[in-house]
Structure 1
Amino acid sequence: MSEDVKAEFGKIRSFLWPVHNYELKKLLPMFIIFFFISFNYTVLRDTKDTLIVTSSGAESIPFLKFWGVVPCAILFMLIYAKLSNVLSKEKLFYVTITPFLVFFGLFALVLYPYRDVLHPNESMDWLQAHLPQGMSGLVACFRNWTYSLFYILSELWGSAVLSLMFWGFANDIMRVTEAKRFYTLLGLGANVALLFSGQAIAYFSDIRKYLPPDVDAWQISLNYLMSMVVIAGIGVIATYWWMQRNVLTDKRYFDPENMEKKTKKPKAKLSIMESFAYLAKSNYILCIALLVIAYGICINLVEVTWKGELKKQYPNPNDYSTFMGRFSQMTGFVTIIMMFIGGWIIRKKGWGFAAAITPTVLLLTGIGFFSFVIFSDSLQHYITMLGTTPLFLAVMFGTAQNIMSKSSKYSLFDPTKEMSYIPLDQEAKVKGKAAIDVVGARLGKSGGSLIQQILLVGFGSLAAITPYIAICMIATIIVWLFAVKSLNKQFVELTGEKAQTGAQEAQPAKA
C-alpha cells in the first residue's frame, strides 16, 4: 500500500472514528451510560406526551410546563445545590437517579391502575363550568394530576439526569481535546438508543389488536414501557459504579491533580444565593443560558402546535404512542447521519459555525411548518388533488420539522453547548450547569408556555394563535443567533490559551 493511500485511509478513519484504541476503556462505558439514559428519555418523552395529549389535550401543555415543571425544576436545583455540598459526586449521582426509577415503577403498578379513584373528576367539572374556555388546559392538569406528575418527572429526567448528571460527569473527566473527538461519538449512543426505544415503543403500543376488547391495552403497554425504564436505569447505575472503580482510578483516563491545575486556585464552595450572584456577573454564563432558553422557547412553540394536530389524527393512546415510536426511530436514523457530519463541522469549521446551524435549521423549517398550517385552507383544492387531507399533511410537515430540529440539536447544539462549559472553573461548572440546565432549560420552555397561555386565554384555541406563535419564534431565533456570536468570541479567547496544552493531552499516556 502506497504512502498516499495510507494517508487517505488515515484521514477517512480519523473522520469516522477519531479514537485511539487505548481510549476505548473510557469511551465505551460513557457510551453505554448515555445509551441507557437516552433510551429512557425517549420512552418517557413519548409516553408523557401520549398521556397528556390524549387525555387533557395539547392546550394543557403550556400550563403544565409553566405551573408544574418550572417550580419543580427550581426545587430540584435548590436541593441538588445543597446536596452537592455535603455528598460526594458518586453518592450524589445515585441519590439523584434512584427516586425517578422508583416513581416510574410505581406509576405503572399503582397510580395508573387507580386513576379513576385518584382523579377528582366531579370537582374539576364544576371548576370548568365556572372558568373561561381558554383555561380548560389548566383544569385538565388538575383533573389528571397523576398524568401531570408523570409529565413533570419525565421532563426533569431530561434536565436532571441527561443534561446535569451525565454531561456534568463527562465534563469533569474529559479534556478539551477528548471532548472534541468524543462528544459527537457519545451522541451516537443517544441516537442508537432512539432506534431501539422507538421500535420498543411502537411494538408495545401496537398491541391493542392482539388483546380482547375488554382489556385496557394502554395499561399493558405502560407495564412493558416502565419496566424497560427501570431496567435501563439500573444499567446506568451499574456502569457508572464500574467506571468509578476501574476507569477513574487510572491516570491515563483521569488525573484529578491535573484537572485541578486548570484553575488558578481552589474555589470555596458558595451558598445558593452567592452562586446566583456569581453567575449573574458572568457574561459567558449568561450567553450559554440564552442559548438554552432560546432553544426551549422555540421548540415549545413549534411542538405544541404540532401535537395539537397530531391528537386530531391519532386520538387513541395506543395509536398516538405507536406513531411517536415510529417518529423517534426516524429521528434516530437522521441524527446518526448528522452526528458524523456534525463532528466534522465542529472540528473543521469551528465552534461558532457549528453552534449557529441549529437556530438556522429551526428558523427555516419552522417558517415552512407554520406557513402550511396558517394557509392550509387556501391550499385545500391542491391538497384534495393529491388524495390526502390538510390534517394529515400538517402532521407530516410537523414531523419533518421536528426530525430536522431534533437531529441538529443532538448532533450540533448539545455538543457545542457542553463544550462551552469546559474552559470554566469547577465552581462555575457545577453551580452554573445546575442553574442553566435545570432552571434555564425549564425557563426556556416555560417562556414559550407563558406566551401560549396568554394567547390561549385571549383567543381560546391553538388554531387562532398560530400566526402569533410564528412571529414569536422568529424573534427568539434572532436573539439566539446574536448570543452565539458573542459566546463564540469568548470561547475562542478561553480555549486559545490552552491550545498547546491540549495538543500534549491528546497524546496517548504511557502505561
Structure 2
Amino acid sequence: MKENNTEEFGKWRSFFWPIHRWELKKFLPMFFMFFLISFNYNALRACKDSLVVTAPNSGAEAIPFIKVWAILPGALILTYLFTRLSNRFSREKVFYIMMFVFLGFFMLFTFVLFPAQEYIHPNKFADKMQALLPEGFMGLIAMFRNWTFTLFYVMSELWGTAILTVLFWGFANEVTKVGEAKRYYGLLMIGANIAGIISGQASVYLSDTKFLSFIPYGKCSWDQSILFLNCLIIFSGVVTVAIYRWLNHNVILPNEKTEPRPAKVKMSMRKNFAYLAKSKYLICIALVVLTYNISINLVEVVWKNQIKQVYPNPSEYNVYMGEVMTLMGIIATVTAILTAFAIRRFSWTFNAIIPAVIMLITGAGFFLFVLFPDSGLNWFAAMIGSTPLVLSVTLGGIQNCFSRASKYTIFDATKEIAFIPLSNESKVKGKAAIDGVGSRLGKSGSSVIHQSLLIFFSSVSASTPYVAGVFLVVVLIWILSVVSLGKQFDSLTKPTLEKEPLLQ
C-alpha cells in the first residue's frame, strides 16, 4: 500500500481534504456511519427533552431526578452488559447486538409504549403520591408517572455514550492507523456538525406538520411527529448497521493490523480520587472538566423550564429545540476551523479560558433576564417589542449553542493538550481518573444540586436565584483552575517549546 504522506497534498488540499483516492473505500463508509449516528444523537437530544418537559404534570424539574435515579443506574447496567458481551463475542457481533438493543427499544416505544401511554402510565397512583409528598418532589413523581418517557430519555441519553463513544470510536480506533487518524478524525467531526444541522432541520420539519387523518396513528400532530422522527431514527440506524457490515466484510480484512494504542485504564471512584490527590496538575484538569459539566447542566434545567413557559405544546417545543440544534451545528463547524488557528497562534491559557469566559458572559446574561422582575430591565424588553421571558429563552439558546460548540472544539482540544507534558503513566491513569470524576461527578453533581434546591423551594423558578449564585461560584473556580493549570503547563513545556511544537 502507498505511504500515507500528507506532503503529497497541496496546501489547500491538505487542509480541507487530506484523503488519498485509495482510502475512499474505507473513509467514506466510516464518514457516513458517523454522520448517521450523530444525526440520531442530535434528533434524540431534542425529542427526549420535548417528551419529558411537556409531558402531563411534568416539567424541567423532572430532568435532575431522571439523571440521578434513571440514567446513572442505566449507564451501570449498560456498562455491565457491554463488558459481558465483549468478553464473549467479537467486536463485530457486539456492535450488532448493541444496535439491536437500541433500535429494538425505539421500535417498541414507537409502536407499543407511546400509543398505549394512557393505559400504562400510573396516573392515579401518581396523583395520590403528589397529594402526600411536598411540591418539591414533583419532578420525582413525574419521572415515575411518565415512566415510558423516562425510558425514552434514558435510552436517548445512552445512545451518545454506548453507540457514539464506545462502539463507533472503539471501532474507528481499532481499524484506523495513527497516521490515518490524524487526517480522518477532523473530517469526521465536521461531518458530525453537519449532521447536527440537518438533524435540527429534520426535527423542525417533522414537528411542524399537520395531523394526517389517513395515517392510523395518534390523536394529534405531535403523536405523528413522534412516529415520523422515530421511524427516521430507526431507518438511520439500520443503514448504519448495513454500512458497518459492508465495511467489515469488504474493506477491513481479518488479518489487518493497526498500530498499537495504549490500553484504556478503568478505575473505581475511590481510586480516581486517590490518584488525582497525588498531583496538583491533575487536580486542576479534573476541576476544569468538573466545573464545565456542573455549570452547563445548572443552566440547562432553568433554560428548559423557561422554554416550556413559552412553548408548552410539545410540537412547538421540539421545533424550537431543532432550531437550536441547527444553530449549534453551524457554530460548532465555524468554531472547529477557528480552533485550529487559535491553538497555533495563542497560549494554552488564553485558549483554555475562552470556554469559561463564554460560559460566564452568556450564563450571567441568561440569569439576569430570567430574574427580570428584580433587575429593573423590563424597559429593555419593551423597547425591542419583546418580553423578559422570550428574551431569557433566546439568550439561553444562544448560551447553550456557544457553550456546547466551544466544548466540542476548543475545550476538548486544550484538555487533551494539557496531558501532553505528563509521563505515560500519568497520561493513561490521569485521563481515566478525570473521565470518571469530572464527567460522571459533574453531571450527577449538578443534578443533586438542583434536586436539593427543588425540595427546599418547590419549583425551578423559585430556586433560580440560588442556582445562579452556585453557577457564578462554579465558573469562578473553573477560571482560577485554568489560570493555575496554565502556569504549571508553561513551566513543564517551556524547556521544549523551542524544540518542537505541541501540535503538528
Tell me the TM-score normalized by structure 1.
Answer: 0.81
Counterpart in the other structure of 2:82: 80
1:301 aligns with 2:324: no
User: Measured at CA, do residues 347 and 57 of structure 1 come closer, stay the same or move farther in structure 2, by a change above 3 Å?
Assistant: same
Answer with 343-352 or 389-398: which moved more: 343-352
Looking at structure 2, the residues matched to 179 and 489 of structure 1 have their Cα atoms a distance apart, in angstroms, of 26
- One-letter code of the match for 2:28? L
3-state SS, counterpart of residue 208 of structure 1: coil
1:320 to 317, 324, 328: 317
3-state SS, counterpart of residue 85 of structure 1: helix
User: Measured at CA, do residues 250 and 424 of structure 1 come closer, stay the same or move farther in structure 2, by a change above 3 Å?
Assistant: farther
Looking at structure 1, the residues matched to 290 and 247 of structure 2 have their Cα atoms a distance apart, in angstroms, of 33
Q: Give 5+ residue unaligned stretches, structure 2.
A: 1-6
1:184 to 176, 183, 186: 186
Looking at structure 2, the residues matched to 246 and 18 of structure 1 have their Cα atoms a distance apart, in angstroms, of 23
Give the CA deviation at 1:482. Answer: 6.0
After superposition, the C-alpha distances for 1:439-481 in whole angstroms (9 at most, x for unaligned) are 8634322211110111111122222222322232233334445
Q: Which has the higher contact order (CA 8 A, sep 6+)?
A: 1
User: Measured at CA, do residues 343 and 471 of structure 1 come closer, stay the same or move farther in structure 2, by a change above 3 Å?
Assistant: same
Answer with 190-199 or 103-112: which moved more: 190-199
Looking at structure 1, the residues matched to 23 and 275 of structure 2 have their Cα atoms a distance apart, in angstroms, of 38
Looking at structure 2, the residues matched to 157 and 437 of structure 1 have their Cα atoms a distance apart, in angstroms, of 18
Counterpart in the other structure of 1:3: none
1:94 aligns with 2:92: no
3-state SS, counterpart of residue 88 of structure 2: coil
Paired residues of 1:287 and 1:483 also in contact (CA < 8 A): yes
Give the CA deviation at 1:16. Answer: 3.5
Answer with 195-204 or 242-251: which moved more: 242-251
User: Measured at CA, do residues 385 and 347 of structure 1 come closer, stay the same or move farther in structure 2, by a change above 3 Å?
Assistant: closer
Looking at structure 1, the residues matched to 413 and 97 of structure 2 have their Cα atoms a distance apart, in angstroms, of 26
Give the CA deviation at 1:281. Answer: 3.0
Answer with 72-81 or 325-334: which moved more: 72-81
Give the CA deviation at 1:130. Answer: 0.8
2:133 to 116, 128, 131: 131
1:468 to 466, 469, 474: 466
Looking at structure 1, the residues matched to 350 and 454 of structure 2 have their Cα atoms a distance apart, in angstroms, of 37
Paired residues of 2:272 and 2:434 also in contact (CA < 8 A): no
1:332 to 325, 329, 334: 329
1:407 to 405, 408, 411: 405
3-state SS, counterpart of residue 329 of structure 1: helix
2:228 to 213, 224, 227: 224
Paired residues of 1:351 and 1:416 also in contact (CA < 8 A): yes
Paired residues of 1:70 and 1:443 also in contact (CA < 8 A): no
Counterpart in the other structure of 2:200: 198
Give the CA deviation at 1:366. Answer: 1.2
3-state SS, counterpart of residue 133 of structure 2: coil
Q: Give 5+ residue unaligned stretches, structure 1.
A: 1-6, 507-511
Tell me the TM-score normalized by structure 2.
Answer: 0.82
User: Measured at CA, do residues 400 and 118 of structure 1 come closer, stay the same or move farther in structure 2, by a change above 3 Å?
Assistant: same
Paired residues of 2:294 and 2:474 also in contact (CA < 8 A): yes
Give the CA deviation at 1:186. Answer: 1.5
User: Measured at CA, do residues 236 and 132 of structure 1 come closer, stay the same or move farther in structure 2, by a change above 3 Å?
Assistant: same
- One-letter code of the match for 1:89? R
Looking at structure 2, the residues matched to 425 and 225 of structure 1 have their Cα atoms a distance apart, in angstroms, of 45
Which aligned pairs between 1:13-412 and structure 2 lie closer than 5 A? Answer: 13-55=13-55, 56-174=58-176, 178-208=180-210, 215-249=219-253, 255-256=257-258, 259-260=259-260, 277=271, 281=275, 290-346=287-343, 349=346, 354-375=351-372, 377=374, 378-412=376-410
User: Measured at CA, do residues 38 and 482 of structure 1 come closer, stay the same or move farther in structure 2, by a change above 3 Å?
Assistant: farther
Looking at structure 2, the residues matched to 184 and 168 of structure 1 have their Cα atoms a distance apart, in angstroms, of 16
Q: What is the root-mean-square deviation of aligned Cα atoms in Å?
A: 3.9
Answer with 179-188 or 196-205: which moved more: 179-188
Looking at structure 2, the residues matched to 225 and 348 of structure 1 have their Cα atoms a distance apart, in angstroms, of 43
Looking at structure 2, the residues matched to 443 and 274 of structure 1 have their Cα atoms a distance apart, in angstroms, of 13
After superposition, the C-alpha distances for 1:366-389 in whole angstroms (9 at most, x for unaligned) are 122112222355111332232211
Looking at structure 1, the residues matched to 241 and 436 of structure 2 have their Cα atoms a distance apart, in angstroms, of 21
Looking at structure 1, the residues matched to 464 and 272 of structure 2 have their Cα atoms a distance apart, in angstroms, of 39
User: Measured at CA, do residues 411 and 436 of structure 1 come closer, stay the same or move farther in structure 2, by a change above 3 Å?
Assistant: same
Give the CA deviation at 1:157. Answer: 0.9
Paired residues of 1:120 and 1:143 also in contact (CA < 8 A): yes
Give the CA deviation at 1:414. Answer: 4.3
Paired residues of 2:203 and 2:322 also in contact (CA < 8 A): yes
Looking at structure 1, the residues matched to 222 and 11 of structure 2 have their Cα atoms a distance apart, in angstroms, of 50
Paired residues of 1:108 and 1:223 also in contact (CA < 8 A): yes
Give the CA deviation at 1:107. Answer: 0.5
Looking at structure 2, the residues matched to 385 and 54 of structure 1 have their Cα atoms a distance apart, in angstroms, of 31
**Number of matched pairs:** 482
Looking at structure 2, the residues matched to 477 and 60 of structure 1 have their Cα atoms a distance apart, in angstroms, of 24
Looking at structure 2, the residues matched to 129 and 65 of structure 1 have their Cα atoms a distance apart, in angstroms, of 24
3-state SS, counterpart of residue 454 of structure 2: helix
Paired residues of 2:46 and 2:322 also in contact (CA < 8 A): yes
User: Measured at CA, do residues 468 and 27 of structure 1 come closer, stay the same or move farther in structure 2, by a change above 3 Å?
Assistant: farther
**Identity of paired residues, percent?**
44
Paired residues of 2:211 and 2:224 also in contact (CA < 8 A): no
Looking at structure 2, the residues matched to 233 and 183 of structure 1 have their Cα atoms a distance apart, in angstroms, of 21
